[in-house]
């Protein structure tokens, strides 16, 4: 399949910025969208996910969408509802109306954050593990995955839902040593998700080939993703400063880490 023209939502954000740099190297032509201006990109579309008319215009003529826009951490329910739940719905409706073929949806480990981490000898966490969100934020990612399934089953709109681990320039915690997705591997994975053959709705985990991996990358590799990086290269100073993970500490025993143990933000 030839490299498609892609709308990148959330283009001003952390992952949006790295994909703006790296995806053109794979031959993709990008159209950018964010609610705030995108530095160095005067042609970027400034629009909120609540603006259906702007979304419809933004998706017109693109082959695919990489949907990163939204609140990327826990927040009051009303804010998550508007940006992540309603916003993702508006984007899928615009995509359906304009005949977009595929969406790569930035889901998160927090959609399944209450899943216990496997201990030594246990199988890796499969993509089929039930949704167990750890926050309203994680709940919005579970919703996004289910929305993607609905739009595939009802409308034939394909999605790869990528449950991203921690995508930062380098891992910063012992938890990150298992969840890290390097910027270069992030671009490799998104490229694979955009260009793989038939995907229907496919859920994958998004991380590098970390020595301390706790989840199963099989479905990501099936798209053609071949991760090249391993957080272990950064492990020594992190472990020296923080110690090895304590499997009896709730913040380290469940996939969502501190999201699981932080006090909940109730609706108000």
Question: Does the footprint of ligand NAI cover residue 210 (CB under 6 A)?
Answer: no
Smallest distance, ligand NAI to C-beta of residue 224, A = 21
**Which one of 85, 164, 213, 238 is in contact with ligand NAI (CB under 6 A)?**
164
Q: Check if 137 is active-site.
A: yes
For CA atoms 211, 216, 218, 219, give the dihedral sign.
negative
Structure letter (DSSP) for residue 158: E
E strand or H helix at 95, and its extent? helix 87-98
Q: Which of 9, 84, 88, 108 binds ligand 15L (CB under 6 A)?
A: 108
3-state helix/strand/coil string of 8-60: EECCCCHHHHHHHHHHHHHCCEEEEEECCCCCCCCCCEECCCCCHHHHHHHHC
Among 8, 49, 104, 187, binds ligand NAI (CB under 6 A): 49
- The answer to whether residue 83 forms part of the interface with ligand NAI (CB under 6 A) is yes
Q: Which run of H or of E encompasses 147?
A: helix 136-155
Q: How far is the CB of 107 from ligand 15L (least distance, A)?
A: 9
Catalytic residue among 92, 137, 151, 225: 137
The residue within the footprint of ligand 15L, chosen from 9, 109, 135, 208 (CB under 6 A), is: 109
Q: Which does 155 bind (CB under 5 to 8 A by kind): ligand 15L, ligand NAI, none?
A: none
Task: Based on the shown chain and the rule CB under 6 A, indicate whether residue 36 belongs to the binding site for ligand NAI.
Answer: yes
For ligand 15L, which residue of 17, 72, 149, 261 counts as binding (CB under 6 A)?
72
Tokens standing for 262?
Answer: 């932080």
Both tokens assigned to 256: 């969502």
Q: Which of 8, 28, 34, 64 binds ligand NAI (CB under 6 A)?
A: 34
| Beta carbon of residue 131, minimum distance to ligand 15L (angstroms, whole number) | 14
What gap in Å lies between CA 104 and CA 193, rounded to an integer?
7
Cα angle 175-134-207, degrees, rounded to a multiple of 5: 40
Instruction: Determine if 73 is a binding residue for ligand 15L (CB under 6 A).
Output: yes
Distance CA 25, CA 233 (A): 25
**And the tokens for 263?**
């006090």
The one segment of 160-168, 170-178, 194-202, 231-239 that binds ligand NAI by CB under 6 A: 160-168
User: For residues 217 and 220, what is the distance between their CA atoms, to the nearest angstrom?
Assistant: 5
Binding site residues, ligand NAI, CB under 6 A: 10, 12-16, 34-36, 48-49, 68-72, 83, 87, 106, 108, 164, 166-167
Q: Where does this chain bind ligand 15L (CB under 6 A)?
A: 72-73, 108-110, 166, 179
């Amino acid at each position: 399949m030839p490299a498609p023209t892609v709308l990148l939502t959330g283009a001003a954000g952390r992952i949006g910025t790295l994909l703006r740099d790296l995806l053109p190297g794979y031959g993709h032509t990008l159209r950018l969208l964010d609610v705030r201006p995108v530095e160095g990109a005067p042609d970027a579309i400034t629009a909120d996910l609540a603006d259906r008319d702007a979304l419809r215009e933004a998706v017109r003529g693109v082959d695919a969408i990489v949907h990163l826009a939204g609140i990327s951490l826990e927040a009051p329910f009303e804010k998550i509802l508007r940006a992540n739940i309603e916003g993702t719905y508006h984007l899928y409706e615009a995509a359906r109306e304009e005949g977009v073929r595929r969406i790569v949806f930035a889901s998160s480990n927090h959609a399944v954050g209450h899943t216990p981490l496997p201990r030594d000898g246990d199988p890796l966490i499969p993509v089929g593990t039930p949704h167990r969100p750890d926050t309203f934020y994680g709940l919005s990612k579970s919703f996004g995955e289910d929305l993607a399934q609905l739009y595939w089953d009802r409308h034939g709109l394909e999605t790869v839902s990528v449950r991203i681990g921690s995508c930062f320039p380098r891992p910063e915690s012992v938890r990150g040593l298992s969840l890290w997705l390097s910027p270069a591997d992030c671009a490799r994975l998104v490229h694979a998700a955009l260009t793989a053959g038939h995907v229907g709705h496919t859920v994958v985990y998004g991380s590098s080939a970390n020595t301390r991996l706790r989840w199963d990358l099989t479905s990501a590799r099936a798209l053609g993703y071949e991760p090249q990086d391993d957080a272990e290269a950064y492990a020594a100073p992190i472990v020296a400063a923080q110690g090895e993970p304590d499997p009896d500490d709730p913040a380290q025993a469940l996939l969502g880490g501190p999201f699981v143990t932080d006090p909940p933000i109730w609706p108000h």
